[in-house]
Chains A and B, each alone.
Chain A
Amino acid sequence: MFDISQSMIVDVDINLAAALLMVGVWIMTLRRRSTGEKADSVFLYVIVAALIETVAGLAVEFFEGPVGHGPYALAVILETILEYSITTELFFLLLYVFLTMHDSMDYLKRRMKFYMIPFVILTVVTIVNMFTGIIWYYDENLVYNETILYFFYDVIRYTYLVIAIYQYANYKKQNGVRFFSMWTFMIPIMWGTSLEWITDCAGFTLGNAIAVAMLFVMSSQKVGFTDEKSGFYNIHYLNMLRENIKEGKYEPSLVINYKLPKGKDLSGFFNELRGILPDECDTIKIDDTNFVTVIYGSTRGLMNMLSDDIQMIAEALNMDIKYNYAIKKKEESPVEFFEDAVGVK
């Protein structure tokens, strides 16, 4: 039925590898427990878009030219799905990066109109193109061709990627970013794009699949460091944090140790504690009854407020919560302070 050329074999192999990779990432994401962050829900859309892209990319290989396979309509539909899934993936990628940085639905809602405009334009153009071929078209031999407008189409959708990089860079300058690096995503994309330019094979699809898999690996790292019951970090994170402090990445200024009662349902306490702690701090479960909060930045007047709040929670939940705290002294090194305050060496 099909003429199988050398380049087609390569493209089918590449697309197949990418599709299998995406199926694997998709299944693992569904099986993985959530960290409860808003970005988690968007991540699934990124994967589904990438999966559709690879499957459509694989399928279209069997229906497009150079000597004509057809049916024509099916080839057009598959190529449309492929192109549109790239646009959709880039759109959701921007939302994912945004929520990973800001974890705020309100911030996103305030920008959504702006973000939606290119998406709506690209959707309309994609539909119009199916009937007119103003962006790309198949000739009589079912050979894929792009018009000059394709360049602008690409520019518009890749603007999402540029905005995502800009936001990441901007955020990173002002805040620490954990378990995420835009470059871990960008390097496979750039590798795939270069491969496609140089060899004319479906390198972008593979590069993109690897990039999404890297996103999955990065977000899974956080799951591995999170305690399922409390939602706070687990003891493995404590060790990593100590290494990071040694490397000078973080400088703790205040450590609070909590001793919680045995055999009680602590879920209420965990929820309340999350509500009173400032944004930039880490709470780590040492064991079932011992937790520690590490705070970075200025501590002036902070413990006064936190003491009141912890006591308020203890009274409200009728729980015997013991706690003590240590504030870093000028002469102490961050590592020395951290190890003494947390009680690890």
Chain B
Amino acid sequence: MELVKITAENADDFTEHIDADVRCNIGRSFFKGIGALGDNYAPLGAVVYEILNYDSEADTKCRIHSFMAADDDTAKALMEEYSNAIAEDGAIESLYETGDENLDRIFSSYGFTSKKRESPEIVVTVGELQKVAAMAKGKNMPEYIQSMTDVSLLQYRSFLKNCLIKGRFGLLEDLGYLPLAWFEREISSCSIADEKLDGVLLIRRLPSQTLVPCLFTAFGIDYQKNLVIIMLRSAQKVVEMYPEETRVVIRRHSPGVKQLTDKFFAGKKGAEVFVGRRAEG
């Protein structure tokens, strides 16, 4: 068995072992993958993980996003290689979140401890977003709320720097490394003051067509009001442009986002998942 680094060039060799929505992240600055190859270089399994808190004063951690192995030997080899790789990055803890009980059992056998709890992610459909979009109907969208298609690279980069300095990364550990084209610009929205961005909702479209709001933040005197208008504009655009059954995955990573989702999608709960961790080093 041979273990290889998974890169943007060879990621497509592992289509059976890594979900397309995870695979599309390979190549990002802090996303790494290890693949196991058998005879004739046939893929046997893969693990994809993300390094968290890299390049910061906080402790480095790793989050496993995908793990699949054809057999126990492959799983063991992948886990060993994973442990060695993250030790080099100085990670002190590994984390995962999965709804798959079998996968949780595999992780447990490698020293992870897990708890079953409600996932911070909720899944809504574009159909369900219609009632949010309806709130904006008949109201004039202020001129300073715009689509990200109208935003220059300089404006985008300036805003990102302000986000980084304020420690607002949304779901994106590598926010400072991502190009504007990585997001779905038409449905992503922003607010502008003095030709500078002061609020954004950046949405990513995954290969499965699932939409993921990745960064939702605003600064300045009107930030609370702008956040709501930005969200309404994006909801309107999503409803206009995507079929009703399109999934939107919202990760409630902050109290602010949780408050909004509780308000707009009352009663909506995240799936039951296993949240596991293991101390490293």
Contacts and interface: CB of A to CB of B under 8 A. Distances in A.
A304 B165 contact: no
B161 A299 contact: no
Q: A277, A278, A301 — which one has the most chain B CB atoms within 10 A of its CB?
A: A301
A304 B30 CA distance: 13
Interface in B165-205: 165-167, 169, 174-177, 192-194
Interface string B128-163: 000000000000000010000000001001101110
A105 B12 CA distance: 50
Contact of A305 (B164, B194, B221): B164
A280 B194 contact: no
A305 B177 CA distance: 7
Nearest to A103: B194
Contacts of B144: 106
A337 to B, nearest CB: 12
Contact of B220 (A102, A295, A329): A102
Contacts of B53: 300
Contacts of A106: 144, 192-194
B55 interface: yes
Contacts of A306: 161
A302 interface: yes
B165 A302 contact: yes
B144 to A, nearest CB: 7
A297 B167 contact: yes
B166 A107 contact: no
Given A301-B174, A302-B165, A306-B161, A330 B220 contact: no
B102 interface: no
Nearest to B165: A297
A77 interface: no
B91 to A, nearest CB: 16
Given A300-B54, A300-B56, A330-B57, A104 B161 contact: no
A193 to B, nearest CB: 29
A309 B157 contact: yes
Contact of A300 (B158, B176, B192, B193): B176
Interface of B: 53-57, 144, 154, 157-158, 160-162, 164-167, 169, 174-177, 192-194, 220-222
Interface of A: 102, 104-107, 110, 275-281, 295-302, 304-306, 309, 328-330
Given A105-B194, A280-B166, A300-B54, 5 more contacts: A107-B194, A299-B56, A301-B55, A301-B174, A302-B161
